[in-house]
A and B are shown apart, each in its own frame.
Chain A
Amino acid sequence: MSALFQNQVLANLGDEDRAVLEPHLVAVTLRKGEVLTEQDGPVDDVYFPGTADLANVMVFADGRAVETSTVGSEGVSGLAAFLAGAPCSWRVVVQIEGTAWRLSSDVLRRQVQASPALLARTLELTHDYQSQAAQTAACNAIHEVTPRLARWLLLVQDRTDQTDILLTQGDIATLLGVQRTTINAAASELRGAGAIEYRRGKVYIRDRMALKALACSCYEAQRRRSQALGIVTRFQREDLSSPPGR
């Protein structure tokens, strides 16, 4: 059964945790733009993405919604609000459609309380999302748009396991909190360097190594921290095994 889970948390559950949680897991297909948890709303369910990618966004009264962190196949939504039994501080919205597993927060919370291994994993993920959000906050304040875009594309690719990223430049601009035309200019630079290609509504990552060379240091800093927690995605594993200087 575990082979069926594209989500790393579910795939790596201990036998006992799996036995308890599996009957409650509901396979769902998430559509782009779907709001899973509202900002300051209750976390009734959590989602373990497979091919879907979720954005944690801070929503402003004027309608703008800027991404603070992203949740993909490495983890689960709703952390750490559901552990605290507190409302979620951000909106959880589907940024890339795909598969996921839904689980009642109550079921997961009960099992976390019963299972030290599951508690440890959820705390590690909480820590990883917290450091991702902190890195992003600092990055947004200091770095230019082109390296930020390169970093962000790598982050999304890592967490979706896809080479094609089904997002328009307008979507990306909203998530990064800049104007669409600014993303257009930055994407044009990345394309000029041979790192990406894009057509309406889709970004293709052509050369991950070129993209890494153009990304700000935030990507590598965060990747190392995640790796130390055992959060390593398929693309990151391939990076590590590819010869240096490629």
Chain B
Amino acid sequence: MHGSGTIPPGHGFGFMPRYFFSTANGHRIKDDEGDVLPDDAAARHMAINILSEVLPSQREQLGDGGRYSVIVADEQANPVYEITATAKRHAR
């Protein structure tokens, strides 16, 4: 699991697909660069890491409810995986 997107396409033996990771908390931050990873499982793993790293900085937005998502797409822009943190503040 490498943090860098600098591995060139087709690096190593065989084909390694590129995955794109966008994030959304109301407005979406698109990923134009992508990461070359061995397979979908590695992409899911990375998405979970991203969510855990970004969530603490979403304290204000999520404190009153709302959601934060990491969306993984393949090279054809088809969605592969999505993980979302949802907050709900209960009336009391």
Contacts and interface: CB of A to CB of B under 8 A. Distances in A.
A and B are partners in one complex rather than unrelated chains: yes
Interface of A: 62-64, 144-146, 168-171, 173-174, 177-182, 184-186, 188-189, 200
Contacts of A189: 57
A69 B5 CA distance: 22
Main secondary structure of the interface of B (DSSP, over half): mixed
Contact of A63 (B2, B31, B35, B46): B2
A184 B4 CA distance: 12
Interface of B: 1-6, 21-23, 29, 31-33, 35, 46, 49-50, 53-54, 56-57, 70
B57 A179 contact: no
A188 B3 contact: no
B15 to A, nearest CB: 20
Contact of B3 (A144, A146, A170, A185): A170
Contacts of B35: 180
Contacts of B54: 145, 181-182, 185-186
A144 B33 contact: no
Contact of A181 (B2, B50, B56): B50
Main secondary structure of the interface of A (DSSP, over half): helix
Interface centre among B5, B22, B23 (most CB of A within 10 A): B5
A174 B23 contact: no
Nearest to B7: A170
Nearest to A169: B33
B62 to A, nearest CB: 13
A17 B56 CA distance: 50
